[in-house]
Amino acid sequence: MDRAIVKTNFSLPGQESLYVGKVRDVYDIDGQWLVMVVTDRISAFDVVLPRGIPYKGQVLNQIASKFLDATADICPNWKIASPDPMVTAGYKCETFPVEMIVRAYLTGSSWRDYKAGAREICGVKLPDGMKEHQRFPVPIVTPTTKAEIGAHDQNISKEEIVARGLVSEQDYNELERVALALFARGSEIAATRGLILVDTKYEFGKRDGEITLIDEIHTPDSSRYFYADTYQERFDNGLPQRQLSKEFVREWLMDNGFQGRAGDVMPEMTDDIVASISERYIELYENITGEKFHPAHSHDRLGQMEENIKNMIARLQ
C-alpha cells in the first residue's frame, strides 16, 4: 500500500507555480503550458481522503488521455502529450469558473436532492413521480460553481451564471452545446463497451479566444457508468444499478456515517479497504477502455516521472 503517490514537489525547467488541487498537482511552465500530475489522492464529498489509492492516478490519466483524443474533432482540447502514465502536458487556458454537468439519468446527488423534495435542479424543472435511475427524455445540463479545496461545488442555473457575469450568454450557450455533443460521443463509445454513460462533468477554458476542453473527461471520477445489459431489469424491479464510477467510495463513506458535513468523522481506511478501491479502479479502466491495465512500476517512480516530464518540457521550450 506504500505504492500510492499522493504528493509531488518537482523543480521543473521554466516552472512558475505549482497548484495543488484535490487530486491533481498542476505545474505552470513558462506561463504557456501546464503539466498535470494525476496523483493517487482520492476525494469524495469535496474532501480529500487520508490515504491514497495505488494506481488510481494512472487509471484516471490514461482514460482521460484516450477520451481527449477521441473527442478532439468535437472541441479542441488542452492536451499536447502524455509523457508519463500519470501525467498530461498541455496548453494553459483561461478557465471558466463553472463546471458543466450533463445528466441522462436521475441518480446520485440529483436523486438525493429529488428524494428530499427538490423539483428543480439548476433551473431545470423535474416532474413529480420520477424514480431513482430513471432516464430523462433528453440529457440535461446542471452546471456548478468550481470550489476550492475544502469547499463544496454549488449548483447554479444558466440565468444566474450569466447574471453574475461568470460566463457571457454567448459563451455559455456554446459551452452547453459542446458539452452535450461530447456527452453524445461518450455515450456512443460507452455503448460499444456494453455501458451507459449516465452523467459526467466537463471543464472548459479559452485559448486564443477559442473554447477549449480542459482537465479530465469521461473518467470514473468525473463520470458514472451503468452496465447496459442489466439496466432495464434492475430499474423495473427497483434494484440498485450495477455501475462503474466512484459512487462505490461515496456509498462506503455514507454507510459509515460520512458525507463531508461538519462533525462527520472519517472512517478508518484500512489496508484492505485501500486495496479493494485500487482493484476497483483497475476494473473500471479495463471495462471502460476494453484494454488490459499495465501498472507503471519502477524502483523510483517519482524520479522516473520527473525525468519524463523534464524530457517533455525540453521538447516544448
pLDDT of residue 148: 60
Cell 501546464 identifies what position? 34
pLDDT of residue 1: 45
Whole-prediction pTM = 0.91
Q: Selecting from 1.10.1380.10, 3.10.129.10, 3.30.470.20, 3.40.720.10, what CATH number does the domain 94-245 have?
A: 3.30.470.20
Quickly count: other Cβ atoms within 10 Å of residue 19's Cβ. Answer: 11
C-beta separation of 31 from 67 below 8 A: no
Residues 6+ apart with CB under 8 A from 116: none
| CATH class of the 15-93+272-316 domain in this structure | alpha beta
pLDDT of residue 243: 85
pLDDT of residue 46: 85
Mean pLDDT per 10-residue interval, the chain, length 317 residues: 86 97 96 98 92 96 97 98 98 97 95 95 96 97 79 85 97 98 97 96 97 95 94 96 86 93 94 93 92 92 97 95
In angstroms, the CA 23 to CA 42 distance is: 6
Give me the half-sphere count of Cα atoms (radius 13 Å) on the Cβ side of residue 179: 25
Domain ranges of the chain: 15-93+272-316, 94-245
Comparing CA positions, the residue from 37, 35, 41 lying closest to residue 86 is 37
